[in-house]
Amino acid sequence: MAPRQGTVFRLAWPLKTILQRFAFLALISLSVALLFLGKANIGVIESLRTTTTDILSPVLTTIAQPVDAFHKAVARVHKLTSLIDENERLREENARLLKWQAVGRSLAQENENYRQLLNALSDPLVLPITARVVGDSGGPFVRTLLLNAGSRDGVRVGQAVVAPLGLVGRIAEVGERSARVLLLTDLNSRIPVVLERSRYKGILVGDNSTSPRLEFLPTNATVVPGDRVVTSGDGGMLPAGRPVGIVSSVDERRIRVQTFADWNRLEYVSVLRYDLPGMSNPDENPGDLGESRLDAK
């Protein structure tokens, strides 16, 4: 058995040597021949290439299917991992929201109990009128908006105008089908406000800049950047507690407030029909809901 294996090895060795010596030359010769063939007849090469592509295309497609399936499986695993993390985050957030919901309900009930004990009067009913901003005059000396709602819709001078994020201004002029809003940033705007945390009252004064000034605070008032500013309700024209903005800067000369309203993206606003008892006649103002209107219903 051993002499036969040695004979096969001695016969295969010269063949392997010949292949190693002439394989490189054979490949070079084949390349040169294909090059000359391509120069001589490009159509043949193109046809050969197309045929080769047609033959290999199903093979490549078959090979690519497991690769695609693997990539899809990896993507699904990553997606499932992210969903697990997001689900955990949402669970924690939901738990926090439920906690604050319970706290809010408890405070609301406590507030209602205190109101009943003090026999406090509730605020008048506030009914919004949704209007579209159809024009603005953002010149250097005036900051106003034009709305497509007027007196026939219940809009009247002095009513508050709010956006989804906060107070925008007050109604300055009213027509039958339109109204003009004086923005918080206008030079003529004066809004009674209160610091939500410390309860110090002041006046928000517009100066045609994007950040109106907070003035007429008590001399001992402590104001820090980040304090929320809301309407105080003084004067009876604006409802109390409407968000206005936050204190953006405090220095020795002035206090600036960054308003919540985005002046560049105002499309729809709400006009608040808000009236203290006895301040307006429901027959003259179709938007007011007095006792006669409620009784009629």
pLDDT at 216: 93
- SS3 string, 57-72, reads HHHHHHHHHHHHHHHH
Q: Is the overall model pTM greater than 0.85, yes or no?
A: no
Q: Is residue 16 scored above 70 in pLDDT?
A: no
Q: Is residue 83 scored above 80 in pLDDT?
A: yes
Q: Is residue 10 scored above 60 in pLDDT?
A: no
**Amino acid identity for residue 97 in this structure:** L
Q: Is residue 296 scored above 80 in pLDDT?
A: no
Report the CATH number of the 127-278 domain.
2.40.10.340
For residue 28, what pLDDT band results from cuts at 50, 70 and 90?
A: confident
Q: Is residue 286 scored above 80 in pLDDT?
A: no
pLDDT above 90 as % of the chain: 32
Of the candidates 125, 205, 133, the one whose C-alpha atom is nearest the C-alpha of residue 164 is 133
Candidate from 20-34, 69-83, 86-100, 218-232 with smallest mean pLDDT: 20-34
Of the candidates 191, 281, 181, the one whose C-alpha atom is nearest the C-alpha of residue 240 is 191
Specify which of 140-149, 157-166, 234-243 reaches the highest per-range mean pLDDT. Answer: 157-166
State how far the alpha carbon of 114 is from the alpha carbons of 119, 241, 244, 259, in Å. Answer: 8, 18, 27, 32
Q: How many whole angstroms separate alpha carbon 52 and alpha carbon 30?
A: 17
pLDDT at 202: 95
Tokens standing for 38?
């391509």
Tokens standing for 201?
């009252």
Of the candidates 234, 232, 256, the one whose C-alpha atom is nearest the C-alpha of residue 245 is 256
Candidate from 46-55, 62-71, 124-133, 195-204 with smallest mean pLDDT: 46-55
